[in-house]
Structure 1
Amino acid sequence: MDLVAHLEDRLLFAVPKKGRLYEQCLALLKGCDIQFRRNNRLDIAISTNLPIALVFLPAADIPRFVGEGRVSLGITGVDQVAESLMDVDCPIDLNFGACKLQVQVPEMGPYTDPKQLIGKNIVTSFTSLTAEYFRKLEGKANGEPLDTKIKFVGGSVEAACALGVADAIVDLVESGETMRAAGLKPIDTLLHTSAHLIQSKNPSHPEIVDMIKSRLNGVLAAKKFVLCNYNAPRDKLEDLLKITPGRRAATVSPLDDDEWVAVSSMIEQKKMATIMDSLQTTGATDILVLSISNCRV
């Protein structure tokens, strides 16, 4: 971290430098109004509007830099956090990059149960998690040698069985298409993972950390929710509010007509159509749904 020794006055924020999380991280930073210009030949970018320096690192390295304390915040998968064995906080699930860490075996092979793999050759990029998994299968205590042979491969793990170097693999699976194309099938799942904001136990600039977390929660809420406005007969209001209770409570405003009120409530975007149908059936009129570009909740 000598490159950032002169950045003592800035909070260091690590983000993946490439791969499946990179583009979504950039969109998230934009939504939080963290402005910066990145030179593609450099792995550090200075924010132009906040006392922050972005450090672009491999996703697998981010937990270590955050866990050792010099970098206060990072974005990476919880799979990488678990694999690193670093003690960091994971305060916010960013709701992207969802996948599973699975045991995969040849589709036409003899293995249907993970216990059949004890003593076999396993190839993975996640040697710590895989060793922990097989330690439990074998009933071995920490420090005892495993019967199962676990080999590290940094990429193209799915090719290991076809090339004859593994009986099974442990790897991240998103849709499963890559594994099926390689002639593999899952027989167990070690963990479910997604991208998280991770935080040092002793971050610098705690006030900036709190601000970033607040902004991230606002961006995530704006993606998850929409604002539903409608007019409601007073005698149906109780039933209508059961449909749109809001995050804490709906906003109810009087109208010129004493028998009607206006209601405004945040609803989940994925349930929008069903909620609108229910509102109309229950007696609401003039139902409008508005997108939320950003918010604080």
Structure 2
Amino acid sequence: MTSRPLRALTARLSRAMPLLIGLTLLIGFAAAAPARAVECSRQEHDGNQYAVCSVDPAAENLRLFLHDTTGTPIGHFATLDAALEAQGRDLVFAMNAGMYHADRDPVGHYVENGTEIMRVIPTPGPGNFGLLPNGILCIEKTSARVFETRDYLERRPDCRHATQSGPMLVIDGKLHPRFLPDSTSRYIRNGVGTTADGSRAVFAISDNPVTFHEFARFFRDGLGLPQALFFDGNVSRLYAPQLGRDDMGRRMGPIVAVTEAAE
């Protein structure tokens, strides 16, 4: 005859079995699920709100897009998504990536798939782009780094993709010298920062209008990045399904994106 304590233990195990099986399946699924290609989040810094997406360029297909196969400017995330779908690829993340002329050709240096489309512009000029020092996002085979333009010209890194914009936000851990703490010029702004070794590229866009000084401090103090580059204001757009973002609006010039093979 089975003892009363043993029968009670057996009954408890029987009731717990469905939960144990469910936990086992959940743990197994979590272990088998692939890591996200891009990690996006919403962050706050000094009372301002930002959408932030971090990319490992050694693990993900991070690259630039400007024209389609016919030479027509892509201009919109939806156009890029459709073109990728025809190639059996998915758009995972995208952001406008540098200033451009009315025909959407880049204002500054631009390299796509190893081909230089626009030379480096090292001289000062009007507008934000010419507010030196400006800089260049360089995407190499397994890394991505922001270079101040003069440093880029000295080092001549081997960029598969590159886009020039300006001004620099953070230069070797210091804010751009022309940024004013008490500035009243506020816009929606977007840009990119990179780690010193190029192992991580972090793209950010403000959810509310911010000054250059606030935006730069977010990259330096909020994200802890030693180099950061301003992409644009007003035109700033983000495609980040994790955050429910698929921004519409003005047509863009260069677009930086992460793509992956469609399942």
Give the shorter-chain TM-score range: under 0.3
Structure with more helix by fraction: 1
Q: Select the structure with the greater relative contact order (CA < 8 A; seq sep ≥ 6).
A: 2
When normalised by structure 2's length, the TM-score is 0.22
